[in-house]
Amino acid sequence: MNDARDVSPLGRIERELGVRLPAEYWNGLAADERLVVAGPGQGEEIWLHPVPELPGINAAAELPGRLPGLVIIGTDGSRELLALDSRRQPAPVVLVDVVFTGWDDAVWPAPDLPTFLREYPQRGLRWS
């Protein structure tokens, strides 16, 4: 988790979520606007939510009671949620359906966010 002395908006959001976000967020990725990443097929894309929206999105999903450690960071615009498993560092990327009930419903397509962002344009969402 971020240093309590950090009064930046990102530092406040990390404390509110109780996690340390990947360096890509610190370096401006999806900081203030939704970032759209194109996938391999026409119309296939993921959206990374702006940092200021993360606390509200995660609170609405009632995550602490459902999947402690899961931090939703994006979506495919349909049923799939792109998230991080903050129980581990670096945090692996996790895909879950909107009706997920537990960690058994999750799929881990990449060991971390940089790997996922590098591979997604060629591979799309991997479900195995």
Report the C-alpha gap between 21 and 55 in whole angstroms: 12
Could you tell me the pLDDT band of residue 26, with boundaries at 50, 70 and 90? low
Cβ-Cβ contacts under 8 Å for 89 (sequence gap 6 or more): 20
Which pLDDT tens digit goes with each residue over 52-93?
A: 888 888 888 876 677 888 899 999 888 889 999 989 988 899
Cis peptide before 92 (omega within 30 of 0): no
With a pLDDT cut of 70, the percent of the chain lying above it is 79
Question: Does the pLDDT value for residue 111 go beyond 90?
Answer: yes
Task: Could you please state the CATH topology (level 3) that the domain comprising 9-122 is classified under.
Answer: SMI1/KNR4-like (3.40.1580)
Structural domain boundaries in the chain? 9-122
Per-residue pLDDT at 48: 87
Full-model pTM: 0.80
Location of structure tokens 């609170």: 59
Question: Does the pLDDT value for residue 30 go beyond 60?
Answer: no
Nearest to 85 by CA among 66, 65, 104, 103: 103
- Name the residue type at position 125: L
